[in-house]
């Protein structure tokens, strides 16, 4: 890059040190992460095929679950193959474009999954609170619109974070102290002022978090009133309703997205195992 009479060299690649430099530990972690990734792919692909081919599973709940499985596949595939290949690479470098693409897909899928959890919560709220009107309210067209809104929200939020971050000027240090491209770890390497990028990331998190909180508040408050009405019923009916409600709410548990900062190898392994396998066991 040229600035007047001064010539400046821009960083074109980043270095990802990975989880560890110990060869023995890398050989131990590789089969663990490979197994988790393969189980995640097999389970989610099997779930999608089962839902698509089963006529009795063509309900809104299973429609959302199939979309959730698609998100999990994209999320895992944007991170795991690169991380697995780095275990056997001498130079663990990644280009600026590939790094930006990786974070864009991760953020897109992560935020879409968070928004999808709100849509699934609304579906279960209507199924439990208004069972007679459920088919009319949660129609297939509404489900398609909700999925489109979930994808669009995640896409725009991820795009708003990725573009400003990777338009910053990087000139000196290019080592990302992480095992994948994460904006907080990349921004600190910038030679230009990252205020705008940091502000956009902060506002995106506030917007998504506030929107999900409002949806949750709108669902939980009427849901508590429905619970009180259920508790006033006779014992047998109450017991049956509670068991049915617990079964309906069970699919919501895997929809929680864990995006905590990983600081050491043990936490990284626990995070990967928990995120990939929690939904399968439930």
CA 41 distance to own-chain centroid: 15
- Summarize pLDDT for 83-95 with one digit per residue, the tens: 888 887 777 888 8
- pLDDT computed for residue 237 by the predictor: 42
- Summarize pLDDT for 44-66 with one digit per residue, the tens: 999 999 998 888 888 999 999 99
Kindly report the CATH number that applies to the domain delimited by 21-230.
1.20.1070.10
- Higher per-residue pLDDT: 233 or 133: 133
Q: Check pLDDT > 70 for residue 219.
A: no
- Summarize pLDDT for 174-211 with one digit per residue, the tens: 788 788 888 888 888 888 777 777 788 788 778 777 77
Integer Cα distance of 248 and 223 in angstroms: 14
**Domain ranges, ordered by start, for the chain:** 21-230
- pLDDT computed for residue 258 by the predictor: 35
Q: Check pLDDT > 50 for residue 239.
A: no
Q: Check pLDDT > 60 for residue 131.
A: yes
């Amino acid at each position: 890059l040229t600035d007047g009479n001064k010539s400046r060299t821009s960083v074109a690649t980043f270095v990802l040190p990975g989880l560890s430099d110990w060869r023995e530990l890398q050989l131990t972690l590789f089969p663990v992460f490979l197994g988790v990734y393969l189980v995640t792919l097999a389970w989610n692909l099997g779930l999608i095929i089962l839902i698509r081919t089963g006529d009795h599973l063509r309900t809104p709940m299973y429609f959302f679950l199939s979309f959730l499985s698609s998100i999990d596949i994209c999320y895992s595939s944007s991170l795991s193959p690169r991380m697995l290949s780095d275990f056997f690479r001498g130079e663990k470098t990644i280009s600026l474009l590939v790094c930006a693409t990786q974070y864009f897909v991760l953020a897109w899928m992560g935020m879409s999954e968070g928004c999808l959890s709100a849509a699934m919560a609304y579906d279960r709220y209507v199924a439990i609170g208004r069972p007679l009107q459920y088919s009319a309210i949660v129609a297939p067209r509404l489900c398609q619109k909700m999925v489109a809104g979930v994808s669009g929200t995640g896409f725009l939020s991820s795009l708003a974070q990725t573009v400003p971050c990777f338009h910053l000027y990087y000139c000196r240090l290019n080592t990302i102290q992480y095992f994948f491209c994460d904006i907080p770890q990349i921004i600190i390497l910038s030679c230009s002022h990252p205020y705008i990028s940091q502000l956009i990331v902060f506002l995106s998190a506030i917007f998504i978090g506030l929107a999900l909180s409002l949806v949750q508040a709108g669902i939980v408050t009427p849901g508590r009133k429905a619970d009180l009405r259920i508790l006033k019923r006779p014992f047998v009916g109450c017991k049956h309703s509670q068991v049915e409600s617990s079964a309906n709410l069970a699919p919501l548990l895997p929809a929680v997205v864990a995006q905590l900062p990983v600081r050491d190898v043990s936490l990284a392994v626990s995070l990967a195992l928990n995120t990939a396998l929690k939904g399968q066991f439930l």
